[in-house]
Amino acid sequence: MIPLVAGPRPLVMGVVNVTPDSFSDGGEWFEPEAAIAHGRELIAAGADLIDVGGESTRPGAERPAVEEELRRVVPVVRALAAEGAVISIDTMRACVAGAAVEAGAAIVNDVSAGLADGDMAALVAQAGIPFIAMHWRGHSTDMQSRAVYDDVVDDVCRELRQRVEALQESGIRAEDIILDPGFGFAKTAAHNWALLNRLDEVVALGHPVLVGASRKTFLGRVGQPPGADPRPPAERDLSTAVTSFHAARCGAWAVRVHDVASTTEALDVADALRTSGTEEGA
């Protein structure tokens, strides 16, 4: 089973979007066969676990019907889990999470931290599995209108602590709660950079931390002239790898990325720096 204690090197969570409208890959893995094949590729590239999701959470995205989300994710979870992969189900719906767990998912990754579905916490508590709780202020259709903070890091940490308390009251064990600061969710570019810069404060909350900045728009603006469009998502993997390197230095538990190979190389560099001058790194 995947350890829930942050080690010297973050785990790598590979992303499989079984959606037609993901911001990061434009539906390239929408059909189950393609999604399963992509999951295998990510594992071969070094992914420690695979995050399977059937609902796009890009700004402005509409939610799919429950039946459609189930149709998208359950065959992919079942196939990859049967091959020994550790699967995280990325969903805000308790019924989808339950079906995925029955199909072999070992972790529930809920970007709403249980706020979108009142049955989610009880389901996870009964299953006794890890739960990734992301900082969330509303659905994709209007979340950016809620990107208002006094101090984004202080506010995010306070709201995450509140969710941890509520989740524990619902029966989820403290040791099963993983936190995600929610890069890009009700956050401006400035908010995202502040969270990255002070990531150690999120880690200091005392729970494993997942960093999911991969291919986000704020990374696509790095190096672009003022007013220019951001680089396309597929051209943001180098910037993503740098954030993974930074996450490693801050003590993150895992990084959620679309391109596993570049992040694995960045983490190899972090390892080399960490062990330089020691017998291990000699």
The answer to whether the CB of 4 falls within 8 A of the CB of 178 is yes
Q: How far apart are CA 163 and CA 157, in angstroms?
A: 10
The backbone torsions φ and ψ at residue 3, rounded to the nearest 5 degrees and listed phi first, read -70, 145
Residue 216 annotated as catalytic = yes
Q: Measured between alpha carbons, how far is 8 from 248 in angstroms, rounded to an integer?
A: 7
**CA angle at residue 112 from 106 to 118, to 5 degrees?**
85
Q: How far is the C-alpha of 82 from the C-alpha of 2, rounded, in Å?
A: 16
**Does residue 187 carry a catalytic annotation?**
no
- Write down the catalytic residue from 72, 187, 216, 231: 216
* Alpha-carbon distances of 56 from 51, 52, 176, 239, rounded to whole Å: 13, 11, 25, 22
CB-based contact 88:140 (threshold 8 Å): no
Q: Which residues form the catalytic set? A: 216, 256
